[in-house]
Amino acid sequence: MSPIDGDDPWSSSDDDDMDDEVEDECFSFHSICSYNFKDASSSPTFDSLAAALEYDVSNYGFDLLQHLLPPNHEDFYEGAIILVNKSRAFVRENCNGSVDKLEIGEMLNTYLKGEALTISSAGDEANMVYFRPQLEDDAMLMFIDELQALKGSQIGSNDDSPVMNTPSDNESVKQLQLKIELLEEQLSQAKKCIASFAMEENGEKSPSSSGQTKKLNAPDNDTYYFSSYSNTSIHETMLRDTVRTAAYESAILSNAESLFRDKTVMDIGCGTGVLSLFCAKAGARKVIAVDNSDILSQAKQIIELNGYGHVITCVHGKIESLIQESALPLSEGETVDIIVSEWMGYALFFETMLPSVLVARDALMTKVTGTMFPNVAKVFIEGANDQERLSYWDNVHGIDMKPMKQRMIEELTEEGLVQIVDDNKIITNRAEMIAFDLNTCKDEELDFEAPFKLHLRNSSSGNESKMEVHQLIVSFDIGFSVEGTAKASFSTGCQSPPTHWKQTVLWFDPLHNCPVLRRDENDIMKGKFHMRRNAKNHRAIDMAVMWETGHFRSENECKWERTGEGVLKRSLHA
């Protein structure tokens, strides 16, 4: 059966990458003392945290639990992260094959006793470096709550007075409630802490390290998302994207009379307030600028500085919460005529902001006459060949470096990449896969599957007779196409001026299985493209492509001759 006839691309065994979701459910633990940083494959692995800790106790005389802060300490979670990473850093820097096992444990015990004071001071500046994992995919850092439980059990087993570890008969309900609140606060601090260094890894490491980031993401995926928009650089990047900013400016100002004059407008995710100011300049009677990041304080100043404080009202918070709490400056029954928002992410839906905008649309936008602006979004796909990058390793200053090809391909195929793709590398047509009417589409439709069909374009690489498709390139177009108004649009395709969204690149493995199109046979590549929100982090997206190559043997396209097939799965991780 053809792969595109299957029902579930996510569980297909044909995927070149393995199934990430299955892998994510399995954790392998490395003990502190036995991990070999020079030869990771020689390091023993354990199915449980307790087994890894016990191995160190039995073989090295090192008990990590002894060095942890008390389980009810307010800095337990941060201290545990620092302790694990400090311990691993010490082993990496000081222990080699010539050091006796018990000596390793003794050295580490001595070191940590001297560090006890700094570990208890989680906010100490010197400890900041130890919030970054020293070991990639360190499962210990994902099970801090289990470390806390094990520490508590150890204290209980060593205490001659068990009454101290359980509430007495006279302990008040109020005291119990205070304990619960303390534990909840500790959990909240841990989530923020883990999310913060997961963000650092995303910002400072290449896409090849994202497996680590994915596992370290805290359950609260909104915290880092809104926090990231508090940084000036992201707003500067968006504002300097003249394709994006000029398109919004032109679409709004050119429709001042036909659309915006005397209307009530809502700008969701207003950032610095630039779109709100465009709307005010276009004659809007009232603009409500909503953002959940602290950049809103600068937006207020900018709005006042430019003389539109009487038109634009800034509101801080998540739009869903503001609607639920009736916290927006709208009188009872009042609606908004236009919702302006720049919600797009990489591959259109990365960061998953559109669902929030749709909540506002359904709750607040004027029925029939109200509109989203922009109101159309389309997703495209095209094929590219990057033979130059592959061939580079054949001769590097006269040196044959072919072994580097496999390493490079392994890195490139770990996940989706975001980069500007030269149109000269595009070898197929750019095919529209799906279009969204933003005035009517539903949240559940944003996880979609769509058919596509690609063929070699005439200008591809000198019209060679056979071409390998090394990459699938995903991009999107945005349209301001309200009936009766001046139309405007912009594209993030390779053929258009670059934007800050760039393109999303999905690499095949050209050394093992990538599509091949033959011009003389009129080969095409067809299939189904699937996109969905990641189950563990709804800000991330998963993509799967079920593809096949071949050609039709008859003019009426009733006899298909297949020449290749496969399943490609990639993700963009937040």
Catalytic site positions: 342, 351
130 is written with which tokens?
A: 């130890």
| 493, 503 contact by CB (below 8 A) | yes
| 271, 314 contact by CB (below 8 A) | no
Neighbours of 573 (CB within 10 A): 23
Which run of H or E residues covers position 202?
helix 173-204
| 572, 415 contact by CB (below 8 A) | yes
Residues 483-517 as b or e (16 or more Cβ within 10 Å = b): eebeebebbbbbeeeebbbbbbbbbbbbeeebbeb
- Rounded to whole angstroms, the Cα distance separating 366 from 356 reads 17
| 353, 345 contact by CB (below 8 A) | yes
Q: Is 430 left (phi over 0), alpha (psi -120 to 50) or beta?
A: beta
- Rounded to whole angstroms, the Cα distance separating 101 from 109 reads 13
Identify residue 103 by its one-letter amino acid code.
E
- List Cβ neighbours of 122 (8 Å cut-off, separation of 6 or more): 75, 78, 79, 82
Neighbours of 523 (CB within 10 A): 22
61 is written with which tokens?
A: 């005389």
Quickly count helices (H) and strands (E) in the chain: 17, 17
